[in-house]
Amino acid sequence: MNIMMNRIKWVVGASALTLASGAGAAGTGVQAEPDWTLPIHDNQVFGQVLFDRLEYQRDGNNEMALWDAQGWIGKDRNRLWVETEGETDLSSDSGDIENFDVQYSYRFDRFWDIQTGLGAQTTFGPSPNKERYSAIVGLQGLAPYWFEVDTNFRVTDDGDVSYDLEAEYDWLLTQRLILQGRGETLVAFSDVEEWGVGSGINNVGLGLRLRYHFSREFAPYVGVSYTRFLGNTEDLREREGKTSSPPASWRASGGGFNTIKP
């Protein structure tokens, strides 16, 4: 029977909201005059940089720094989109960039973008480093009932195929105090022992973050998250000496910002 790894961690940190900017829409609205010209869409360049998570974490004797950021530039429908996520073990100066994706994004619906491009994954630190590259086809947007979804199919340069999914949901307790639920998972279609990836569902991650918006650009938060590694992935981690964590571990984190450049 496979041994499953459970991790529960407390988190405090900061995140930011997505903002929007653009020109006023002439010819529309309740006060518009009939002879006003209608707005011309997709003729201005917008941009955004968003650090959704920027954290310092402590788990037992381990100190970690984690980031999850994205940025884009383009018009209403066509954009260049960059995303990156990773973590660093501050005690050993080692870590990994889980993804650094550069994609073309096309908005085919009011709330949905289809994306395609290239991604890189790499490790760093005193141990021998490794890297791999992948082609990506993804979908990002706002699902019914206000679930924010980010999902991707990846095919690496070695032909390994995987599927990842992240979803978030916000409960507005007040206009400034927001509770966010977050879930993620990764499904691999083959074993990749070098990267500690087993075929099947690799993990299930769940989390809650309670954030307060001091401004639209800055929102500190506290939270708790739970991660379980499953199946062949857990077996591979055991072989590498990554034993199961204690039932509960505590982590602290902080810092985040968002900027928009029209």
Instruction: Give the pLDDT confidence score for residue 225 in this predicted structure.
Output: 78
What does the H/E/C string look like for 196-229?
Answer: CECCEEEEEEEEEEEEECCECCEEEEEEEEEEEE
pTM strictly above 0.85: no
Instruction: Give the pLDDT confidence score for residue 177 in this predicted structure.
Output: 95
Q: What is the mean pLDDT of residues 194-211?
A: 89
Q: For 216, left (φ over 0), alpha (ψ -120 to 50), or beta?
A: alpha
The residues facing 238 across adjacent strands are: none
Greater model confidence, 229 or 63 = 229
Judged by DSSP in three states, 94 sits in strand
- What is the CB neighbour count within 10 angstroms for residue 202? 21
User: Does 18 have pLDDT greater than 80?
Assistant: no
What are the distances in angstroms from CA 228 to CA 60, 110, 191, 225, 231? Answer: 18, 35, 18, 10, 10
C-alpha dihedral over 157, 159, 165, 166, to 10 degrees?
-20
Task: Classify residue 82 by its DSSP letter.
Answer: E
